[in-house]
């Protein structure tokens, strides 16, 4: 076993000048501890307690369907679809084959001033999922965060094209997660995600109140009864800042990352009506809710409320190749292009894009993913499974320390009373116990989230619930 310091110092000796090395050494003393797995030291893992992971690693070797096999041979049932990604299950053969074929045909082609066929085809297929709602264009990105940043920039470009360039304010919602770009963390509102970076979040962003109201809505099945009036907070913000300064409102139709918060009945309709009344764009961040999670192509179709833009990722390619997309109303595109038409010096209409926008592997994966969803009727399958999932989740009512169970579609959460001085302790403990028992769920603050794939069986749902039940009790006994 070598120490973390000894290892970093050895690496630095070959890289750093001795003065820099000396300065670093003096700050390193405080972090010296043993490194049981030196081979894990170089990779700085995202959104992870690296110190904990690197003393107790969980390494996946392979995965198929709803089962992951760890490097130590253990099998783990995936109760969170990877990370809300693998809606059609892991290593879906048709998707994998499409990627393999594409890889040997065209590995990369720029989408700047040239292109290849696949993004055009894929954009058509994505729009086919959501007809008759005015959506006319798809802008491909690399992930959910870049889809969100693209949506914010498109909002600004649209208002500017209309001569409304003073509309620069964005309104998000408390407990919202919109990825990790500076734009995304500014409109998002999860405390730890913002705190370290608060010195440089975007100006002109504010947040309406979240919709979680456990006092009135605890143990609601699906959309809670009370809380449509939370949308009125938007009118308060509009009165405070002036509608003519606000570019867009961005919300997740169901907040996922902070523990599955389905919108109260009537809430989304109200948000839509208020934004439309004031000429403010509405962005639905559907990175989690898109592609069948609610038994419907999007939350937009499930709740029958149409925003001006939809951001999506994850289930877009079944998680097999990183990709995101911004689906926008035709009028946004037309306004920006008309504006460019009127400018004699204009070339590019929207100065935005990524080297990997429309990447051939992502597009091939995406087209195959939509084929699989369609051929296997997976959205319908999810819709049929949803009542069973709902009953199963709510069968856990009464477990120790529990304060709420929430669900909508194939996503649900258990919420617990927590000690505010150690907010992650209880749910981290439950997560670790479930993992040791062979089931992967997700922990986030006071909540445990479950989101099985669209190919999950009732038996697999039963197992998730059994393991959860056992380990919530065991955890409560332990502390
Ligand atoms: C609603 C929402 N928006 C954006 C993102 C960011 O997506 P990515 O991690 O692909 O950048 C996520 C990720 O979980 C998300 O849930």
C-alpha span between 236 and 363 (Å, rounded): 42
C-alpha span between 410 and 408 (Å, rounded): 6
DSSP character string of 3-49: EHHHHHHHHHHHHS-HHHHHHHHHHHGGG--EES-GGGSS---TTS-
Q: Which of 314, 346, 375 is the last residue of a domain?
A: 375
Residue 5 Cα, ligand 1 centroid: separation in angstroms?
34
Output the pLDDT for position 32. 57
DSSP character string of 253-308: SSB-TTT-BPPPTTHHHHHHHHHHHTT-EEEEE-TTTTTTTTSSS-HHHHHT---S
| Statement to judge: residues 342 and 386 lie in one domain | no
Ligand 1 atom closest to residue 176's alpha carbon, by position in its atom list: 1
Establish whether residue 256 lines the binding site of ligand 1, counting it when its CB lies within 6 angstroms of any ligand atom: yes
The verdict on residue 196 lying in a domain is: yes
Output the pLDDT for position 31. 53
Residues paired with 413 in a beta bridge: 406, 449
| Statement to judge: residues 102 and 179 lie in one domain | yes
Output the pLDDT for position 33. 61
Q: Residue 426 corresponds to which tokens in the numbers above? A: 């209880």
The verdict on residue 230 lying in a domain is: yes
Ligand 1: residue whose CA is nearest its atom 13: 179
| Statement to judge: residues 275 and 160 lie in one domain | yes
| Statement to judge: residues 215 and 258 lie in one domain | yes
CATH number at residue 243: 3.40.640.10
| Statement to judge: residues 157 and 300 lie in one domain | yes
The verdict on residue 448 lying in a domain is: yes
Mutate which of 178, 182, 300, 411 for ligand 1? The one with the most ligand atoms within 8 Å of its CB, which is 178
| Statement to judge: residues 195 and 280 lie in one domain | yes
Q: Name the one residue in this structure whose structure tokens are 């099945």.
A: 221
Establish whether residue 252 lines the binding site of ligand 1, counting it when its CB lies within 6 angstroms of any ligand atom: yes
| Statement to judge: residues 72 and 108 lie in one domain | no
| Statement to judge: residues 75 and 105 lie in one domain | no
- Range(s) of the domain holding residue 107: 93-375
| Statement to judge: residues 399 and 339 lie in one domain | no
Q: Which of 375, 397, 422 is the last residue of a domain?
A: 375
Residue 286 Cα, ligand 1 centroid: separation in angstroms?
9
Residue 287 Cα, ligand 1 centroid: separation in angstroms?
6
Residue 474 Cα, ligand 1 centroid: separation in angstroms?
32
CATH number at residue 83: 3.90.1150.10
Residues paired with 139 in a beta bridge: 326
| Statement to judge: residues 321 and 305 lie in one domain | yes
- In which element (H, E) is residue 76 found? strand 75-78
Number of domains making up the chain: 2
CA distances from residue 207 to 210, 245, 248, 263, 372 in whole angstroms, order as listed: 9, 15, 12, 16, 38
Ligand 1 atom closest to residue 184's alpha carbon, by position in its atom list: 4
Q: Name the one residue in this structure whose structure tokens are 């995965």.
A: 63
Ligand 1 atom closest to residue 288's alpha carbon, by position in its atom list: 16
Give the pLDDT means over successive 10-residue stretches in the chain (479 positions).
47 43 46 80 95 94 98 98 98 98 97 96 98 98 98 98 98 97 96 88 96 98 98 98 98 97 98 98 98 98 98 98 98 96 89 97 98 98 98 98 98 94 91 98 96 98 98 95
pTM, two decimal places: 0.94
């Amino acid at each position: 076993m070598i120490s973390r310091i000894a290892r970093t110092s050895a690496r630095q000796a070959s890289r750093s000048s001795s003065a820099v090395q000396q300065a670093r050494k003096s700050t390193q003393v405080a972090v010296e501890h043993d490194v049981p797995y030196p081979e894990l030291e170089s990779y700085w893992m995202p959104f992870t307690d690296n110190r904990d992971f690197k003393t107790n690693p969980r390494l996946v070797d392979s995965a198929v369907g709803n089962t992951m096999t760890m490097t130590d041979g253990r099998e783990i049932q995936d109760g969170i679809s990877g990370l809300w990604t693998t809606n059609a299950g892991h290593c879906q053969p048709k998707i994998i084959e499409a990627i393999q074929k594409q890889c040997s045909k065209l590995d990369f082609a720029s989408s700047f001033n040239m292109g290849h066929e696949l993004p055009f085809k894929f954009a058509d297929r994505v729009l086919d999922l959501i007809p008759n709602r005015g959506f006319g264009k798809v802008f491909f990105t690399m992930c959910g965060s870049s889809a969100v940043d693209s949506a914010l920039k498109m909002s600004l470009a649209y208002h500017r094209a209309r001569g409304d360039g003073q509309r620069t304010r964005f309104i998000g919602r408390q407990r919202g997660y919109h990825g990790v770009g500076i734009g995304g963390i500014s409109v998002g509102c999860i405390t730890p995600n913002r705190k370290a970076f608060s010195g440089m979040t975007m100006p002109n962003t504010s947040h309406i109140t979240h919709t979680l109201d456990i006092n009135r809505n605890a143990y609601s099945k699906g959309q809670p009864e009370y809380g449509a009036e939370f949308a009125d907070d938007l009118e308060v913000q509009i009165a405070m800042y002036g509608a003519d300064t606000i570019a867009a409102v961005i919300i997740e139709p169901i907040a996922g990352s902070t523990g599955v918060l389905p919108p109260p009945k009537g809430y989304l309709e109200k948000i839509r009506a208020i934004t439309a009344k004031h000429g403010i764009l509405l962005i639905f961040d559907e990175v989690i809710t898109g592609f069948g999670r609610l038994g419907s192509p999007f939350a937009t179709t499930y709740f029958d409320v149409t925003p001006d833009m939809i951001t999506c990722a994850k289930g877009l390619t079944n998680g097999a190749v990183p990709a995101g997309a911004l689906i926008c109303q035709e009028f946004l595109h037309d306004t920006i292009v008309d504006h460019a038409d009127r400018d004699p010096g204009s070339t590019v209409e929207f100065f935005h894009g990524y080297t990997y926008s429309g990447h051939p592997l992502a597009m091939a994966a995406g087209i195959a993913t939509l084929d699989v969803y369609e051929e296997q009727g997976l959205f319908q399958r999810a819709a049929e499974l949803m009542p069973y999932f709902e009953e199963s989740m709510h069968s856990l009512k009464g477990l120790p320390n529990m304060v709420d169970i929430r669900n909508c579609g194939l996503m649900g959460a258990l919420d617990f009373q927590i000690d505010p001085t150690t907010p992650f302790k209880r749910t981290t403990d439950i997560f670790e116990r479930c993992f040791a028992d062979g089931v992967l769920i997700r922990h986030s603050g006071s909540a445990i989230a479950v989101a099985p794939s669209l190919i999950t069986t009732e038996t697999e749902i039963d197992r998730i619930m059994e393991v959860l039940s056992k380990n919530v009790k065991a955890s409560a006994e332990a502390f």
